[in-house]
C-alpha cells in the first residue's frame, strides 16, 4: 500500500449495516462507539465476551453465532475484522476490498483500509487522533495525545473558547474549599471561558491568577454598595455584566447552596431574565474536616452529621437552630461561621445534655497552605479559641469522630 497518511473522516453510520467479525476484546472495546453512532450492527462470531453478549441481549447488536462466511460483507458499509483466525481475517479483508467496504483489521493494520483513531469527547466535540507516520504507528502515543487534549478541554487548562454556542449569562460556580485542585471539572471549564469573574474571599483564589489578562476579576467584597445592601450590589453587578452580553462566573467558596446565598442570586437573575447555570462545589463542611484527618461519619461512632451555621449565638432571637435538640444527638456536629460564638455554642450544648468532654476540632483555612488544626473539648473550646488565636474561616467539628483519625493524619500537609 502507498505510504500516505490516512485521510481523516467522520462516518455517519445511522441505520447502515456494520459487520463485526469476532466477539472478543477488540469488539468489546469498539462496539460501544459503533452503537452510539447508530450503526445497524451485525456481529458474526461463534463466541462473545460477557459484555458483548449483554449488548446482544439488550438488542443493541444482532449476533449471528457462527464463523465468517464468504458473502457476509457484501452489503456492509463498514467492517471490523477481529477474529482470532488470521486466515479468516485475510479472507474477510479480501472480500471487503473486493466490495469496496472500508475495513479495520485488528491483526494487521497494514492490510486494513481504515484505521480507528484514538477518540474522546468534550462538550459536544469529538477529538480523534490518527498518526501520520505510517511506518511508526504508535497507538499509545496517539491515545496519550487524545487524553491530554480531552483532559485539558475538560479541566480548562486547554482553552478553546466557544464562538457560536457560547451563550452569555451567569454561572454560579462552587469553587470548593480553597485548594485550586478541588473545583469541579465543569466549574474550571466555565472559569476558563469567562469574560468576568466575581469572586468571594473564600474559595480557590489561586485560580484567578491563572486567568488571561482580558478577563475582568471583581472582588465581591469590594463592590461598592451605596444605596444597595451588599448582596443586592452583587446581584446588580451580575445582572449588569450579563446584560452587556458577557459570560459571567460568580465564583463562590464551597458549594453555592451551603450557606452561600446561591438561591438568592439565582432568584435575582431569574427576575431579570438572565440565563443562569449552577455548578455544585465541594463544601468545606465535609472536605475541610477530611483534610485535617477527620471523617464526618465513622462506622460504630457516628451515624449522622449535622451542618449548622454558628453565625448567631444560641440565645439570639434571629437563630433558627434548635440547639437543645442538637445537644441530644450523639453524632457529629459541623459548625460553619462559628469561631466568634463557639464559646456560647459549647455552653448551650453542655447545658442541654452533651458531655463537656466531647471532643472538638477547629480547622482553620482548610485545604490551603495555611491549614491549621486546634483540638479542644466542649468544656475548653471557648478559652482555647482565644488562647490559640483561631480566626475565621474555620470549620468546627464536634463529636467522637474527632479522635478516630490516624495519628499521622492529625496535621496533614495540604497537597
- Taking CB positions, which residue lies at the least distance from ligand SAM? 254
x-marked contacts with ligand SAM along 298-327 as a string, rule CB under 6 A: ------------------------------
Point out which span in 64-72, 82-90, 223-231, 253-261 binds ligand SAM (CB under 6 A): 253-261
Number of shown-chain residues binding ligand SAM (CB under 6 A):
23
To ligand SAM, the closest distance from the beta carbon of 257 in angstroms equals 8
Distance CA 373, CA 193 (A): 36
To ligand SAM, the closest distance from the beta carbon of 267 in angstroms equals 17
Nearer to ligand SAM, 195 or 255 (CB): 255
Q: Quick check: helix, strand or coil at residue 335? A: strand
395 binds ligand SAM per the rule CB under 6 A: yes
Q: Quick check: helix, strand or coil at residue 374? A: strand
Q: Return the closest-CA partner of residue 252 out of 339, 170, 152.
A: 170
The conformational region for residue 30 under phi > 0 = left, psi -120 to 50 = alpha, else beta, is: alpha
Q: How far is CA 130 from the centre of its chain?
A: 28
Residue 147 backbone dihedrals phi, psi, to 5 degrees: -60, -40
Distance CA 71, CA 397 (A): 71
To ligand SAM, the closest distance from the beta carbon of 337 in angstroms equals 4
State how far the alpha carbon of 269 is from the alpha carbons of 228, 239, 256, 335, in Å: 16, 6, 15, 30
336 binds ligand SAM per the rule CB under 6 A: yes
Distance CA 276, CA 151 (A): 25
Give the three cell numbers for residue 225: 454598595
Q: Indicate which single residue of 55, 172, 202, 378 sits in contact with ligand SAM (rule: CB under 6 A).
A: 202
347 binds ligand SAM per the rule CB under 6 A: no
x-marked contacts with ligand SAM along 172-201 as a string, rule CB under 6 A: -----xx-----------------------
How large is the greatest C-alpha to C-alpha distance in the chain, in angstroms? 89
Catalytic residue positions? Answer: 200, 222
394 binds ligand SAM per the rule CB under 6 A: yes
142 binds ligand SAM per the rule CB under 6 A: no
Nearer to ligand SAM, 241 or 252 (CB): 252
390 binds ligand SAM per the rule CB under 6 A: no
Q: Indicate which single residue of 327, 365, 384, 390 sits in contact with ligand SAM (rule: CB under 6 A).
A: 365
Buried b (16+ CB within 10 A) or exposed e, 259-296: bbebeebbebbeebebebebbbbbbbbbbbbbbbbbbb
253 binds ligand SAM per the rule CB under 6 A: yes
Q: How many residues does the chain have?
A: 415
Point out which span in 79-87, 181-189, 282-290, 374-382 binds ligand SAM (CB under 6 A): 282-290
Point out which span in 50-58, 82-90, 125-133, 256-264 binds ligand SAM (CB under 6 A): 256-264
Point out which span in 79-87, 91-99, 129-137, 281-289 binds ligand SAM (CB under 6 A): 281-289
Nearer to ligand SAM, 89 or 283 (CB): 283
To ligand SAM, the closest distance from the beta carbon of 400 in angstroms equals 21
Residue for grid cell 452489503: 75
283 binds ligand SAM per the rule CB under 6 A: yes
Give the three cell numbers for residue 120: 474522546
Distance CA 103, CA 95 (A): 10
Q: How far is CA 109 from the centre of its chain?
A: 36
Give the three cell numbers for residue 191: 472559569
**Cβ proximity of 362 and 339 under 8 Å:** yes
Binding positions for ligand SAM, rule: CB under 6 A: 177-178, 202, 253-255, 258-260, 283-285, 288, 336-337, 363, 365-367, 392-395
Amino acid at each position: 500500500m502507498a505510504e500516505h497518511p490516512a485521510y481523516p473522516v467522520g462516518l455517519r453510520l445511522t441505520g447502515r449495516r456494520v459487520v463485526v467479525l469476532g466477539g472478543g476484546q477488540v469488539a468489546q472495546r469498539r462496539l460501544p462507539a459503533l452503537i452510539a453512532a447508530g450503526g445497524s450492527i451485525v456481529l458474526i462470531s461463534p463466541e462473545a465476551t460477557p459484555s458483548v453478549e449483554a449488548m446482544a441481549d439488550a438488542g443493541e447488536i444482532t449476533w449471528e453465532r457462527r464463523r465468517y462466511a464468504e458473502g457476509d460483507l457484501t452489503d456492509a458499509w463498514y467492517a471490523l475484522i477481529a477474529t482470532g483466525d488470521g486466515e479468516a481475517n485475510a479472507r474477510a479483508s479480501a472480500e471487503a476490498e473486493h466490495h469496496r467496504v472500508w475495513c479495520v483489521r485488528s491483526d494487521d493494520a497494514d492490510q486494513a483500509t481504515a484505521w480507528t483513531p484514538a477518540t474522546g469527547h468534550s462538550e459536544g466535540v469529538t477529538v480523534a487522533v490518527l498518526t501520520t507516520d505510517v511506518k511508526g504507528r504508535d497507538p499509545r502515543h496517539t491515545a496519550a495525545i487524545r487524553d491530554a487534549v480531552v483532559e485539558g478541554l475538560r479541566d480548562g487548562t486547554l482553552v478553546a473558547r466557544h464562538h457560536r454556542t457560547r451563550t452569555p449569562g451567569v454561572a454560579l460556580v462552587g469553587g470548593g474549599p480553597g485548594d485550586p485542585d478541588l473545583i469541579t471539572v465543569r466549574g474550571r471549564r466555565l472559569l476558563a471561558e469567562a469574560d468576568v469573574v466575581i469572586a468571594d474571599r473564600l474559595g480557590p483564589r489561586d485560580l484567578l491568577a491563572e486567568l488571561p489578562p482580558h478577563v475582568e476579576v471583581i472582588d465581591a467584597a469590594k463592590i461598592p454598595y451605596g444605596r444597595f445592601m451588599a448582596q443586592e450590589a452583587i446581584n446588580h453587578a451580575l445582572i449588569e455584566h450579563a446584560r452587556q452580553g458577557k459570560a459571567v462566573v460568580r465564583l463562590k467558596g464551597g458549594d453555592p447552596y451551603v450557606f452561600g446565598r446561591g438561591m438568592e442570586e439565582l432568584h435575582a437573575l431569574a427576575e431579570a431574565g438572565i440565563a443562569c447555570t449552577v455548578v455544585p462545589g465541594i463544601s468545606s463542611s465535609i472536605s475541610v474536616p477530611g483534610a485535617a484527618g477527620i471523617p464526618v461519619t465513622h462506622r460504630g461512632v457516628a451515624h449522622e452529621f449535622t451542618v449548622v451555621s454558628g453565625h448567631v449565638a444560641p440565645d439570639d432571637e434571629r437563630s433558627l437552630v434548635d440547639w437543645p435538640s442538637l445537644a441530644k444527638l450523639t453524632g457529629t456536629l459541623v459548625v460553619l461561621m462559628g469561631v466568634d460564638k463557639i464559646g456560647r455554642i459549647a455552653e448551650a450544648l453542655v447545658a442541654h445534655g452533651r458531655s463537656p468532654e466531647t471532643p472538638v476540632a477547629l480547622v482553620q483555612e482548610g485545604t490551603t497552605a495555611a491549614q491549621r488544626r486546634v483540638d479542644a473539648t466542649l468544656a475548653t473550646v471557648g478559652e482555647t479559641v482565644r488562647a490559640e488565636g483561631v480566626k475565621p474561616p474555620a470549620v468546627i467539628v464536634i463529636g467522637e469522630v474527632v479522635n478516630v483519625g490516624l495519628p499521622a493524619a492529625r496535621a496533614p500537609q495540604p497537597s
